[in-house]
A and B are shown apart, each in its own frame.
Chain A
Amino acid sequence: MSVRDVLSPFTAWKNLFRDPVSIADPLKRQAAPRYRGFHQNDMEKCIGCGTCETICQNGAIDMLPVEGIPTKQGDSGLRPRIDYGRCCWCALCVDVCMTQSLTMSNAYTWVESDPDKFRFTPGVDKKHWDDAELGYVRPEGHRLTGELRVHMPEMEPDVRIGSFAEIVDGYSVEQAVLEADRCVSCGLCVATCPTHMAIPQYIAAIRDGNYDLGLKLLYDSNPFSGICGRVCTHKCETTCAARHEGDPIAIRWLKRHIMDQVTFDQITRVVGQPAASTGKKVAIIGAGPGGLTAAFDLAKQGHSVTVYEALAAPGGMTRWGIPEYRLPYDVIDRDVDVIRSLGVDIRCNTRVGKDVSLEDLRNNNDAVLLGLGLQLGRATRIPGSDHPDVRKAVDLLRQATANEDFGTPRQAVVIGGGNVAMDIARTLARLQKTAYGEVRVTLTALEDINHFLADPEEIKEAGEEGVIILDARGPQQVVVEDGKVTGLKTWRVKAIFDEQGRFAPSYDEADEQFHQGSMIVEAIGQMTDASLLGDELTERLTWNRGRIQIDAGGRTSESWLWAVGDMVHGPDVVTAVADGHRVAASMHANLVLKEQSK
């Protein structure tokens, strides 16, 4: 103890002459730019995926419908409501938000007399901080869910062009688990899938390595999971929540992964045995995905099902339209064999109308289902297109599958911008490479490259394989010299549709091009060959714009006849599968009803 210890404390008095350090009006104090204050939600960006609700450790977030925000593909229409009685402003919801719609302002004062007011839907309930510019947003590079898709290994273009071997390798278990890990299980994709597969659940099964469960979930909604795992149009991926701030989950490849991992015996064990026989008989015409899906469902319910197929093997367009490098035949065989294991009798090389009459089928069965598909190619009807070397893509693809020699041209021109056009262009490219060592295929389409109907990866891969793709070219004339096709003349397309939105292409005649080729392939659409119905039945049936009119269950105006698949809904495998289920349910209900009213 010293004199200093007695005097020193008095130095505190110097503060008498100092200005106060407290803030005069704390309510007006601005918080820091990255302050985690009250929530904002951009209604334009929010897709109602509910990931914010999932991650909230306080259970502060509810997903609720909001007036004026309809449910649509890729947007549940729900919006997060936050209970500020529970929120702890950790901002995990902001960090995880799949679209970055959810952010925080730097506002932090809000006075209410009613505590329930502190439960609000940001972006819907107007607040004074809605337009605040400062506040917490997810920092760049700060991601809590996987952003980029696991790369799918595939054959290099120069290797794959030499054969029809499958291009895509499929994921290994490790790759699949990594990709499955990215899924946030929001379920937005389920509504988009025509057959509403349990996508988040089977992806979770991959994460857990539970392939039996995965398989069961696949077969609950899709007996063509092997095929769809390879060639599905995967519209689900267009509504995946992950696509907004990264790549969509590779849903299709994950489905394929499950099918790649399981054995045939495993599938039949999971699918199980059909129900006890009902004694009812059903005939199905056409062994495509639509007809066979219905066969699968009906057989499981105990009905006796016979499928009549005009061609040499079942599968429909998946076999006779899709090239082997995209969909190997053994994959089709396995999917079909599972259906056969339920007792479905598939009679190939049996053309209804020739080998067996439709009348007989009607008389010998309780119900008949038409699954004819779209097997006729549409024609351009341009001058010169009646030449024998002007061919239809579907015909050539069928011949290619059957290993028939249709005379591979040294140089070919394909008309069309859809997946079928890509299929035939790439098939021709492979045949040319094998026969002549070089690829000389030109593809012309009406649409500009950004509006092609074909999948982007098809266009990319066709280009890699040496197919020359010319967009916005309208075919005008097949040039024939000395009885031989020498090429195709096209004009540049100015517009495909007129002002009313009708299909009426207009051309710039000054921009004419000539594409050399000894074969011209038309790939501009398909239609159904319904000649087996016969004149009388055709007359009796109700038609709608060239298609048989059906009710919601697929039943035609004839009470014993249903129709399914591409012939009524247009070309798509998974749509046909969904349709098969729907039609089978309608037929089953009808057969049961018939039994009960007996």
Chain B
Amino acid sequence: MMRALHDRLNALFPLGELTEQRPDLAFLTVPREHLRSIILHLRDLEGFSHLVLLTAVDWLEEGNFQLTYLLSNRGKAVDLGLRVMIPRDGASMDSIHDIWPTAATYQRELREMFGIQFPDSPGVNDDFILEGWIDMPPYRRDFDTKAFSAKTFKEREGRMTTDPEQHMKQQLYPDGA
């Protein structure tokens, strides 16, 4: 079923890798410039009328953000995740709030948490969750939560631990022999 859909799409758009995760779930990499037309095609002609979620994955090592647009076809009970790879540097993506109004919320969060720009998305630059945040967008992989916490908050005193292997070495063969 996913294959057939893929074949139909492939006749109309250039497509990337298809991953058939389950009979009712597939992921498909699409070029960013065709995302909008593919989404409209899927929504209006293929019954994928429900935007389940829109989120990002930070492939830091590869220098990319993966945007995942998960669409659902309720009638046929299948889901299709569209993957769009965009460069991390100056990350920006076209808004789809006019296709699904609710996408504006997702895009606002992605702007705040990942630093991905969505020009024209309503209220996209308003604080969403992190009012008053001044560090880098925290859901980026290079934001180190533990280091931030160590820098920002005081450690509770009186905590210390011992490594069993090293402790036994100290106790049982202190000279290393």
Chains A, B in direct contact (C-beta < 8 Å): yes
Give me the interface of A with B, judged by CB distance under 8 Å. 48-50, 53, 61-65, 70-73, 76-78, 83, 85, 116, 119, 186-188, 190-191, 196, 200, 552, 578, 582
Q: Beyond the given A64-B161, A200-B165, could you list 12 further A-B residue pairs with CB under 8 A, ordered by the A residue number?
A: A50-B163, A62-B159, A71-B172, A76-B168, A77-B168, A78-B167, A119-B158, A187-B163, A187-B164, A190-B165, A190-B169, A196-B169
B-side contacts of A63, CB under 8 Å = 161-164, 167
A-side contacts of B164, CB under 8 Å = 48-50, 63, 76, 78, 186-188
Nearest-CB distance from B153 to chain A (Å)? 13
Inter-chain CA distance A190–B171, complex, in Å, is: 13
The one of B158, B165, B171, B177 in contact with A77, judged by C-beta atoms closer than 8 angstroms, is B171
Residue of B nearest to A191 (CB): B168
How many residues of B sit at the interface, in one of the four size bands? 10 to 19
A-side contacts of B168, CB under 8 Å = 71, 76-77, 187-188, 190-191
Instruction: Verify if B134 is at the interface (C-beta below 8 Å from A).
Output: no
Instruction: Verify if B151 is at the interface (C-beta below 8 Å from A).
Output: no
Instruction: Verify if B160 is at the interface (C-beta below 8 Å from A).
Output: yes
Q: In the bound complex, do residue B167 and residue A76 qualify as a contact, i.e. CB atoms below 8 Å apart?
A: yes
B-side contacts of A191, CB under 8 Å = 165, 168-169, 172-173
Inter-chain CA distance A434–B92, complex, in Å, is: 80
Q: In the bound complex, do residue A582 and residue B177 qualify as a contact, i.e. CB atoms below 8 Å apart?
A: yes
Give me the interface of B with A, judged by CB distance under 8 Å. 156, 158-165, 167-169, 171-173, 177
Nearest-CB distance from A46 to chain B (Å)? 11
B-side contacts of A83, CB under 8 Å = 156, 159
Inter-chain CA distance A490–B168, complex, in Å, is: 46
Q: In the bound complex, do residue A116 and residue B158 qualify as a contact, i.e. CB atoms below 8 Å apart?
A: yes
Binding site secondary structure of chain A:
mixed
23 contacts between A and B (CB under 8 A): A48-B164, A50-B163, A62-B159, A63-B162, A64-B162, A65-B167, A70-B171, A73-B172, A76-B165, A77-B167, A77-B168, A77-B171, A83-B156, A83-B159, A119-B158, A187-B164, A187-B165, A187-B168, A190-B165, A191-B165, A191-B168, A191-B169, A552-B177
Residue of B nearest to A552 (CB): B177
Residue of B nearest to A59 (CB): B159
The one of B156, B162, B169 in contact with A78, judged by C-beta atoms closer than 8 angstroms, is B162
Nearest-CB distance from B160 to chain A (Å)? 6
Q: In the bound complex, do residue A53 and residue B165 qualify as a contact, i.e. CB atoms below 8 Å apart?
A: no
Residue of B nearest to A71 (CB): B171
A-side contacts of B162, CB under 8 Å = 62-65, 78
Inter-chain CA distance A71–B165, complex, in Å, is: 11
Q: In the bound complex, do residue A62 and residue B160 qualify as a contact, i.e. CB atoms below 8 Å apart?
A: yes
Residue of B nearest to A116 (CB): B158
Inter-chain CA distance A582–B171, complex, in Å, is: 18
| Minimum-distance CB pairs A-B, first 9 | A187-B165, A71-B171, A76-B164, A191-B168, A62-B161, A50-B164, A191-B172, A63-B162, A76-B168
B-side contacts of A61, CB under 8 Å = 161
Q: Which of B159, B161, B168, B177 has most chain A Cβ within 10 Å? A: B168
A-side contacts of B160, CB under 8 Å = 62, 64
B-side contacts of A85, CB under 8 Å = 156
Residue of B nearest to A553 (CB): B177
Nearest-CB distance from A42 to chain B (Å)? 18
Nearest-CB distance from A557 to chain B (Å)? 20
A-side contacts of B158, CB under 8 Å = 116, 119
Nearest-CB distance from B59 to chain A (Å)? 22
Nearest-CB distance from B31 to chain A (Å)? 36
Nearest-CB distance from A367 to chain B (Å)? 19
A-side contacts of B167, CB under 8 Å = 63, 65, 71, 76-78
